[in-house]
């Protein structure tokens, strides 16, 4: 009978001891860091032409075909407006909108969509989920020419890493 009482007394004593100790300093919030320069500060340029958008799509589709991936590929201009789109035979229907969303996110936020995936999955920066227009899945890449964003390409239908690989080939057509 004394054992439960002793256990409660030690627990209560432990609580009192921990409360009487020094206050613990909370860990620093990494989001409080102030960078010296603004990240992702790439200016917008003249919108991509239809011919160049189609060339980027053709390169991404050719890469996908080499691996037997079935993708949807979208290219938007620097204002995130759809310029060109292609759905490969057998590509899943849900990925039509996803490919466009990836391209729009890459253009409007001036960064690869992988940055949002990493922010959430690796850095636990869940605040990114509260931002309008975000898609936290790789496969959206800005198209940059002469240091300016002229558009973005988005691929969807395979795994994120496959989408990203095809997108990089498409993005490489823009110099």
pLDDT surpasses 70 at 15: no
| Percent of the chain clearing pLDDT 90 (strictly above) | 69
Q: What is the pLDDT of residue 28?
A: 78
- pLDDT on residue 8: 52
Q: Is the confidence at residue 127, as pLDDT, over 70?
A: yes
Quick one: tokens of 47? 């919108």
Note the pLDDT of residue 44.
95
pLDDT in tens, 94-110: 999 999 999 999 999 99
CA distances from 110 to 2, 39, 43, 71, 175 (A): 67, 10, 8, 23, 17
Closest CA to 77 of 105, 97, 107, 102: 107
pLDDT digit string (tens) for 153-164? 999 999 999 999
Q: Which residues contact 140 (CB under 8 A, 6 or more apart)?
A: 101, 102, 103, 104, 105, 106, 112, 113, 114, 152, 153, 154, 155, 167
- In this predicted model, what pLDDT tens digit does every residue of 18-74 receive, in sequence order? 555 566 777 777 667 887 887 788 999 999 999 999 999 999 999 999 999 999 999
Q: How far is CA 61 from CA 39, 67, 70, 151, 172, in A?
A: 31, 10, 9, 18, 13
pTM greater than 0.85 (yes/no): no
Distance in angstroms (rounded) separating the CA atoms of residues 57 and 173: 9
Greater pLDDT, 171 or 130: 171
pLDDT value of residue 34: 86
| First CA to last CA distance, the chain | 81
Tokens representing residue 112 in the block: 């690869």
Average pLDDT score over the chain: 89
Return the pLDDT at 33.
Answer: 80
At residue 5 the predicted structure's pLDDT band, cuts being 50, 70 and 90, is low
d(CA 105, CA 140): 7
The neighbouring-strand residues paired with 144 are 149
Q: Which helix (H) or strand (E) holds 114?
A: helix 114-121
Check whether domain 50-171 has CATH 3.30.450.150, yes or no: yes
Report helix, strand or coil for 60: helix
């Amino acid at each position: 009978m004394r054992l439960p009482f002793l256990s409660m007394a030690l627990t209560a004593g432990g609580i009192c001891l921990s409360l009487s100790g020094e206050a613990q300093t909370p860990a620093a919030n990494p989001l409080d860091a102030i960078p010296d320069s603004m990240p992702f500060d790439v200016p917008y340029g003249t919108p991509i032409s239809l011919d160049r958008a189609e060339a980027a799509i053709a390169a991404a589709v050719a890469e996908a075909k080499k691996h037997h991936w079935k993708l949807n590929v979208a290219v938007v201009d620097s204002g995130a407006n759809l310029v060109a789109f292609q759905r490969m035979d057998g590509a899943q229907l849900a990925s039509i909108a996803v490919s466009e969303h990836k391209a729009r996110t890459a253009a409007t936020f001036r960064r690869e969509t992988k940055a949002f995936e990493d922010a959430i999955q690796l850095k636990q920066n869940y605040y990114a989920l509260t931002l309008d227009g975000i898609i936290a899945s790789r496969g959206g890449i800005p198209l940059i020419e002469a240091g300016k964003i002229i558009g973005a390409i988005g691929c969807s239908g395979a795994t994120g890493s496959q989408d990203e690989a095809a997108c990089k080939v498409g993005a490489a057509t823009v110099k």
